[in-house]
Every structure is written in C-alpha cells, then in structure tokens.
Structure 1
Amino acid sequence: MRSLALPRGDWPLILAGALLWTLAYPPFHLLVPSFLCLVPAVWLLLVGQRDDRPLRRHLVQGWWFGVVGNGLLLYWAIGTLWRLTTFAILGWVAMVVLMALFTTVVFGVSGWLAQRSGQSLVVVFPVLWTAAEWMMAHAGDLRFPWLGLGTSLTGFPTIVQIADVIGARGVTLILAAANVALAMAWCRRRDRMAAARYVGAVVLGVLLAWSYGTVREHSLVLEPVAEVAVLQPNATWDDKRDVAMQDRIVVRTRNLAARAMSEAEPDLVVWPETAVPGYLRRHRQWRESIAGLARSTRTPQLVGSRDGDGASRASFNAAFLFDSLGRHDADPVYRKRRLVPITERVPFVPREVLGAFDHRGFSAGDDAPLYEIGGARFGVLICYEAIFEDLARAYRRQGAEFIVNITNDAWFGRTSAPHQHMAHLVMRAIENRMSVARAANSGVSGFVDPLGRSHSWTELFETAVVHGEVSAVSDVSFYARTGDWVGTSAVGFSVLLVGYAMWRRS
C-alpha cells in the first residue's frame, strides 16, 4: 500500500475536489462548483511537480482523486446494486476503479507534459480530461460515460445551448479550461495582471455562452408534433419479482393507461421499462388486454417488457409498440443495445457460464427502429442508454423528431441517482434539438423540450400520469450532423501532445 501513499497535504485538496464534484451534480446541481471542482486537481499537479518523483506522485494523486470523487458521486450504487445480482458489489467497484484509472492517466500524463516539455496545464489538462471522457464512452463492455463534466451544467440550460454545436464533450472542454484558468489565477494572484487575464477569460467565456444560449432560446422555432402521456405505475421492486403479483401489476398499469386516455387524447401512451414483468410474448392474456385497450381507443401504446429468442435462448430488455389497431407485431420490437455492465451483462463472460450462478443477464439488441405516430417519428432509449450521445444522435439523423426514454429506477431508491440519470436527457435534447418524453416506473417521469427545458416532472415513488406536448425543430443541429467532433479531436490532439513531447526529449 506504500505505493499508493500520499503526503497528508494532498488529502485536503482531494477531499475538496470530491465535495465540489458532488455539489456540481444532481441533486444539488449548483452552478459555482462546476467551475471549481477541478481547481484542486490543478493545485495537486502543481504541488506534485516539486516532488522528487513527480510522475509517481501525479499518478497516485489521480488515483485517489478518482476513487474518492467517483466513490462519493456514485455512493448510491453501494446500497442499491445488490438488489439486482450477487455480482453487484463488483459493479460498484468496477465503476469506481475504471473511472479512477482514467483520472490516474489524466493526472500522470498532464504532469509529465507540463514538467518535461513545458506545455501549459491550461492547454494540456482540459484536452486530456475531455479525451478521457471520450474513452470512457468507448471502452467496449466496460463503457460507462456517467456524468461527464459538461453534464453538470444541465441545471442551467441557457449556458449549455452551445452543445448543439460542440456537444457534451465540447462543454466539458470549455468547463475544464475554466477550472484550470481559475486555479492559475489563484496561484498567480500576486501578479494582478496575469490573474485578471485568467479570470477575465472565464467571465468572457461565460458571457459568450450565455449570450449564445439566450439568442437560441429566442430564435429557435418549436413546432408541436404530438401529445404524449407517460405512465408512472410505481410498482415496487419486490412486487415485480413476485410471480403472484405480476398479473396485478399489468392490470394496474393498464388501468393507469386507460386513465391517461380519459383525461386527454394523447397520440401515444408510454409505459416504463419492464412495465410488463416477464416475457410479453409468453402471456397471451397480457397481450390481448393491452391490444384491446389500444384498439378501442385508437391510441398506440409503447410497452416495456422482456423479449426472448427461442432459438438462441437469448433474453432482451425490450419495448413493444402496440399500434392503434392493437397489433404488437406490425412494427419491429426495440431491444436494448447498450447493457449496464455487471447488472445486465457481466463483461467478457459467456452467458452459459453465468447460468451456473443464476445470472445469464441480457443480450444486446442490434437494430434501432424508428416508430411513427400521427406523422411524428421517434426513437426509443431504454434506461442508461440515455447517457450515450451517439444513440440519440443516430435517431436524429434518421429523421426522429423526439425520443422516448423508458426506465425503471426503482432500485435506486430515494438517492441522487434518478436525478443524475435524468440530467443526461437534458444534454441529449439540446445536442440534437429533440424533445424527450420519459416514463420511469417510480420516477422521475416527465418531458424535456429541444431547448433543454424540463417540465411536468413527477416526484419519486408516486403513482402518476403525466401529459405533455412534444415539439420538433425543422433544422438538424450542427452537432447532430457532425457528431462528437470535439471528443475525437481531443483524443487526436492528446496523441499529438504526447508524441511531440517524446520527440523533444529524444
């Protein structure tokens, strides 16, 4: 453990960074901590440069900054993942360790570049941090891009409107640069002119982002395309696992759907993830009940349930669309494509092996069907697929006008996780200029418009029906057309920075 030891003076900075990091995200979602949460990281790097072994010091600093920060931010996983699988504790450890490995690399490479090649932390650190976020989203079976730095600003949509050009990763880059600039301003506070330049640059950046956002909020034309009702049945975790209760759950949710159509005339009713416990195709009574409701009211029902492939014995987390004629097979079934590591699929381990531990998990779907109701087209994202920007963007490029996100966050309990989960949808809405309708079994359910403004949100653990109007924007955003160009550029630039430093040393 000596290799992971740090001087006592580093720990206050690590703890301060973890606290600010937590305050920047839901449920606190404060503005100022977003601009300060990486300031302690920069100070750690500057302090570490005076060590006899600076590279080792920076690596250990990055490790503990990531472990403590992510451990605190993801505290909810400790008490909730155990409900899903006996492998749950591994899920929490894997999340924290994986994210800490990325911060370790960022600290180590940033410190090395700054000290050995004289490159400024103002340039190096934001680029490497952004590149690390990109890599987190592309880590194969272990990818987990939960709460990128840019997502911390989704509580203030006006500032984040620039995401329709630069995406979430672009917001991360700018925000990380602001953090470094403020850290340098404090370090050089005796040189008032230098400190003023750093602070002035941050203030100017905020004003420009705010001005752009204000213009977009007043100039973007939103056209209503559909009325949607989302259901929040609030079925408990234990009830869903109790076979004797499953019929009651389906009946109760169907009655909630009937209530939604008696209150208004929605074009679509959305049931949450696994609203129908078990396999829908194997329960004729459930299918006929939902089909009869859709047919009698001429209102399509999007229903979350499991789906299976008899030939391969594969199991899928899926969504079925019952059209206005009550048909559930007229449109392709959507099968979740991005599975939660450990809880839905154990990485790198065949399902057959996991069967011996009663944890076969799910298989990943391949297709992304686009559905249409009343002339409006939409795509489906199940649960944590909302944190992947490429999935929402692909729907927009196919012509989707809004996204439906179905989820079951009941296992999170009354923690910050449901609110953290929802924050990603604000970013997806702004990036692609699409509305979002969200149905969560136990909350939070509601709507986000193409400007990232949330409305009609429910409380946690209440039974509710929420009606909302989803709007569309005629123009496809620059981000939707070009993709995550900031993230890929950050990766490429990071490689160039390292290559240049190595060339100079040789």
Structure 2
Amino acid sequence: MSKIRGQAPWLALSALQTVLIGVGSVTITLAYRWVKVRRLGGVLDLLGVPALVAALWAAREVFVGMWPYSGFPWVRVGMTQVSGPFPEVASWVGSTGVTFLVVGVCAASVQALRPGRRTLRAGLPALVGVLLMAVTPQYATQTVGTFTVGWVQGNGPAGYFDDRNKGDMLRAQASASKAILGQRMDLLAWPEGSVDIDPASSEPTRRLLGEISAAYGAPLLINAATTRGEQTFNSTMLWETNGSEQTYDKINPVPFGEYVPDRWLFERLAPDLVGLIQREYSPGRSAPVMDVGDTRIGLAICFDVIYDDVIFDAAQRGAQVYIFQTNNADFRGTDENVQQLAIARMRAIETGRAVVNVSTVGTSQVIDPDGSIVETIGVDTAAGRVSEVPLRAGITPASWLSPIVETAMVVASAGVLLWVRLHIHVGARKRKRS
C-alpha cells in the first residue's frame, strides 16, 4: 500500500509536467511554422531562428518554475549540464542562461541540417557556440579563509511511512554524531528534520541541544518543525549552549508534501493521500543566511535549493559557504537524491562557493566551489565527517544576472513571436488586396 501511495504523486507530477512541456512546445512549433512562412534567409535563418527557439524553451522553463503552486524548477536543461563539458558557463549566466545556450546550439545544428542548408557556413553558428562555451572559464571568486564543518547523516526514521516514535530522529542524529566527538569544528550541521520535537515546546529538548553544542565545542545547526501562534514553519536554527538566536524558515514549502494547496479540492480526489499531510507549513520570510562567528553561511532547506532567488539572495547578502539541509527519506530507491546532488553541485559553480549538503538518509556530500565532490556519505548509512572547506568572497555574474536573463527570455521570445505573427498577418492582407 505504501508503494502505491508513493507512486501516485510521482505519476501525477509526471503527467502535469508532460502537459506543461507539451503546451510550452506549441510555441516552438508555431515559431518554426511562422518563420517558414516568412522565408527568412542569411543570418536571420541561421542565428535568429535558433535563438528564438532557445528563448522560447528557456521561457517555458521559467514559467513552469513559477506555476502552478510555486512551480517546479527541477526540470531545467541547464541543471543537467553539471556533468557536461560546459558547467563553468553557469557562473556567468546561471542555469537559465546555460539552458538558452545549450538549446540554441542544438537548434542551430538542426537548422544547419535542414534540406538546402547543409553547408559549412550553415554549421558555423553551432560550432562557434560550442567553442565559446568550451573555452569559458569559471568566474573566479576570492578565497578568504577556511571553515571546518562537522556534518552528520543520522539515517533515522525520517519518512512519512517509517515506523517511529517521538524523538527517534533526534536520538539517531545524536548517536551518529558521536563518531566525530572530540574533533575540532566551527559548526556541527544536521539535516532537515533532524530534531523531531519543537524545541520551543520542550525544555528537555532545549537542554539536550545545549549540551550537545557544549560537548562538541561548536554551534549546532538543526532543523525542526516549529509552531508560532497558528502557523507552522520548517525552521533551521543555530543552537548554542544558551539556546538559539538565529532562525531561518523555509521560504518554499513543498506543495503536496508540506502543505496542500486547495485542500478542499484534492481531498475529494485523493482523501487517503491528502490526509497523510496533517501540518500546513507556512512560507518563511527571513533571509537565508546566518552568522557563525565571523563567517556568514548561506542556507537552503531541501526543495529551496531549486529556487534561484533563495540561493542568489544568500550570495548577495555575503554568504561565504553554503549548508544545504535535506530529507530524502521518502525517495528511497529512486534517483531523487542524486538529482538533488547535481543541483547542489550546480549551485556551487553558479555562486563560486563550497557546499555542504547534509541529508537524513543520504546522499550527503561536501562540494568544492568548482562543483567537484570532495567527500560523500552514501545512502542508508549513519555516519559523521569533519571537513575543512574554503570560504569565498565576491559575487559571480550569475548571482545578479540570472533574474535579468530570465526576464529577457520571456519578454524577448514573446515579443519576437508576436512580431513574426504580425508581419505574417500584414503580409497576408497586402497579398489579398493585390
């Protein structure tokens, strides 16, 4: 039964994404059809058409990344290139820019292979595009020191369908942390859901967290569901011996995972599945950064990692290293954790900063600013590590240019497509008069 419940949301999401991709691809079909009517030649044919197709593709990704219910930016061509030959380009133009360039090269290749165009001149745009991406180096941020992080994957019962009692996750994390007790560290980082008791409502929990921070000689970065008034938040807290004074609340709660939009409707469609989600998390409003001594860390909680604004906001606020906390327990047996790792690696490249990605059940890893993986704790393993990571300063072009690129893709593609259609309409009216 749990397997069926797990597959139903996956099938629903896949179906929705298929529809959105199909609808978005209609604009690309229209572009090819209308451009054919205009019978473009020369530069417009070999460069303009691929650029329009690439912009339309990127614009569709931007739209799907915002709608419905805060969108699903996971499925971006740019993110897939982290293991490709051109990931460094992302530090200049961001993932959306990489999408535009990769799709543009593909569209230029298709354009060059169409009947009547199979010449060396026709293939130059694609070749030049590949060469430009191949020789583009990663934008260089400045090393300003190092930071030692203890990071622990407790492998506790963190999934919706796991058998567990209150406090089991906290005990699993505390137990796994003993492997690195006595080692020097600037911060001890635990994953999303690492504390399954709201510290605000439990004095024993607060006392235990303070004792752990004191025993390890470092602040403890934890995550728990917290309640304030009538609202519930997915909260990361920096806990020290005397408690927590810094909190970051997840900005993008997961629809159908952490809250149910339009619950009245979906309860009628799938009451058993929707009934599993009892808490309704509210979106946070705090900045995704915290200060650990003189070091500023950037934060993202699980699903947050796919949203550009969260990542780049932290960079612009002076984050020198990132700590990503996640819970992959409900995706055991799938490639979701590996996909999330690829996204985390791309974020390291885009921002020029090291990333410590710590999960409840795996995969956890330390990633260098160039996107390479330094250390890994595999799936379904309880373990702890202590890693020294570089601190970086300086804002990559991607960190401030990405919103501009996304806006340009949407506006330019819509504008050009409308212009082409208008010219076709005007031309048809002229021919009719003649």
The equivalent of 1:145 in structure 2 is: 73
From the superposition, tell whether residues 398 and 153 of structure 1 become closer, same or farther in structure 2 (CA, over 3 Å).
same
The equivalent of 1:97 in structure 2 is: 19
Counterpart residue type for residue 257 of structure 1: S
The superposition leaves residues 443-491 of structure 1 with CA deviations (integer Å, 9 ceiling, x where unpaired) of 1111222222222022211112133222233321122233332221111
Structure 2 gaps, min length 5: 427-434
Alignment of 1:17-56 (within 5 A): none
Q: Conserved in 2, the CA contact under 8 Å of 1:335 and 1:365?
A: yes
Residue in structure 2 matching 1:109, options 26, 30, 45: 30
For the residues of structure 1 that align with 2:372 and 2:326, how far apart are their CA atoms? Answer: 20
From the superposition, tell whether residues 468 and 210 of structure 1 become closer, same or farther in structure 2 (CA, over 3 Å).
farther
**1:277 equivalenced with 2:191 (yes/no):** no
Shift, 1:172, TM fit: 0.5
- SS in structure 2 of the partner of residue 131 of structure 1: helix
The equivalent of 1:418 in structure 2 is: 337
Counterpart residue type for residue 210 of structure 1: A
For the residues of structure 1 that align with 2:127 and 2:373, how far apart are their CA atoms? Answer: 27
Alignment of 1:134-283 (within 5 A): 134-139=62-67, 141-156=69-84, 159-188=86-115, 192=118, 194=119, 196-213=120-137, 216=138, 221-237=142-158, 241-244=162-165, 246-262=166-182, 264-283=183-202
For the residues of structure 2 that align with 1:350 and 1:181, how far apart are their CA atoms? Answer: 47
Q: Conserved in 1, the CA contact under 8 Å of 2:224 and 2:235?
A: yes
**1:322 equivalenced with 2:244 (yes/no):** no
For the residues of structure 1 that align with 2:55 and 2:227, how far apart are their CA atoms? Answer: 43
For the residues of structure 1 that align with 2:164 and 2:361, how far apart are their CA atoms? Answer: 19
**1:335 equivalenced with 2:335 (yes/no):** no
The equivalent of 2:258 in structure 1 is: 344
For the residues of structure 1 that align with 2:265 and 2:356, how far apart are their CA atoms? Answer: 33
For the residues of structure 2 that align with 1:467 and 1:109, how far apart are their CA atoms? Answer: 54
From the superposition, tell whether residues 159 and 80 of structure 1 become closer, same or farther in structure 2 (CA, over 3 Å).
farther
For the residues of structure 1 that align with 2:112 and 2:133, how far apart are their CA atoms? Answer: 21
Q: Conserved in 2, the CA contact under 8 Å of 1:386 and 1:425?
A: yes
For the residues of structure 2 that align with 1:294 and 1:399, how far apart are their CA atoms? Answer: 25
- SS in structure 2 of the partner of residue 437 of structure 1: strand
Shift, 1:270, TM fit: 0.9
Counterpart residue type for residue 5 of structure 2: W
Counterpart residue type for residue 284 of structure 1: E
More strand by share: 2
- SS in structure 1 of the partner of residue 16 of structure 2: helix
Shift, 1:112, TM fit: 4.0
For the residues of structure 2 that align with 1:265 and 1:81, how far apart are their CA atoms? Answer: 46
Deviates more, 1:466-475 or 1:397-406: 466-475
The equivalent of 2:431 in structure 1 is: none
**1:498 equivalenced with 2:420 (yes/no):** no
Alignment of 1:55-74 (within 5 A): none
For the residues of structure 2 that align with 1:148 and 1:315, how far apart are their CA atoms? Answer: 30
For the residues of structure 2 that align with 1:316 and 1:391, how far apart are their CA atoms? Answer: 16
TM-score computed with the length of structure 1 as normaliser: 0.74
Q: Conserved in 1, the CA contact under 8 Å of 2:157 and 2:168?
A: no
For the residues of structure 1 that align with 2:405 and 2:323, how far apart are their CA atoms? Answer: 26
TM-score computed with the length of structure 2 as normaliser: 0.85
For the residues of structure 2 that align with 1:220 and 1:320, how far apart are their CA atoms? Answer: 28
Shift, 1:241, TM fit: 5.0
Q: Conserved in 2, the CA contact under 8 Å of 1:166 and 1:479?
A: yes
Shift, 1:364, TM fit: 1.2
Shift, 1:81, TM fit: 8.6
For the residues of structure 1 that align with 2:154 and 2:265, how far apart are their CA atoms? Answer: 31
Counterpart residue type for residue 180 of structure 2: A
For the residues of structure 2 that align with 1:492 and 1:408, how far apart are their CA atoms? Answer: 37
Q: Conserved in 2, the CA contact under 8 Å of 1:339 and 1:362?
A: yes
The superposition leaves residues 148-174 of structure 1 with CA deviations (integer Å, 9 ceiling, x where unpaired) of 101111014x62212222111111111
Shift, 1:442, TM fit: 1.2
Counterpart residue type for residue 157 of structure 2: T
Higher-RCO chain (CA-CA 8 Å, sequence separation at least 6): 2
More helix by share: 1
Q: Conserved in 2, the CA contact under 8 Å of 1:438 and 1:445?
A: yes
Shift, 1:406, TM fit: 0.5
Shift, 1:351, TM fit: 11
The equivalent of 2:301 in structure 1 is: 382
From the superposition, tell whether residues 288 and 252 of structure 1 become closer, same or farther in structure 2 (CA, over 3 Å).
same
Q: Conserved in 1, the CA contact under 8 Å of 2:363 and 2:378?
A: yes
For the residues of structure 1 that align with 2:161 and 2:214, how far apart are their CA atoms? Answer: 27
RMSD (CA atoms): 3.0
Percent identity of equivalent pairs: 21
Alignment of 1:365-380 (within 5 A): 365-380=284-299
From the superposition, tell whether residues 445 and 409 of structure 1 become closer, same or farther in structure 2 (CA, over 3 Å).
same
Deviates more, 1:354-363 or 1:496-505: 354-363
Residue in structure 2 matching 1:407, options 311, 326, 333: 326
For the residues of structure 1 that align with 2:3 and 2:225, how far apart are their CA atoms? Answer: 22
Shift, 1:235, TM fit: 1.6
**1:82 equivalenced with 2:82 (yes/no):** no
Shift, 1:236, TM fit: 3.3
From the superposition, tell whether residues 370 and 442 of structure 1 become closer, same or farther in structure 2 (CA, over 3 Å).
same
Shift, 1:138, TM fit: 2.3
Counterpart residue type for residue 414 of structure 1: G
For the residues of structure 2 that align with 1:429 and 1:184, how far apart are their CA atoms? Answer: 34
The superposition leaves residues 310-343 of structure 1 with CA deviations (integer Å, 9 ceiling, x where unpaired) of x22x2222212102x3412x22x21111122222
Counterpart residue type for residue 207 of structure 1: L
From the superposition, tell whether residues 462 and 93 of structure 1 become closer, same or farther in structure 2 (CA, over 3 Å).
same
For the residues of structure 2 that align with 1:502 and 1:100, how far apart are their CA atoms? Answer: 21
**1:306 equivalenced with 2:225 (yes/no):** yes
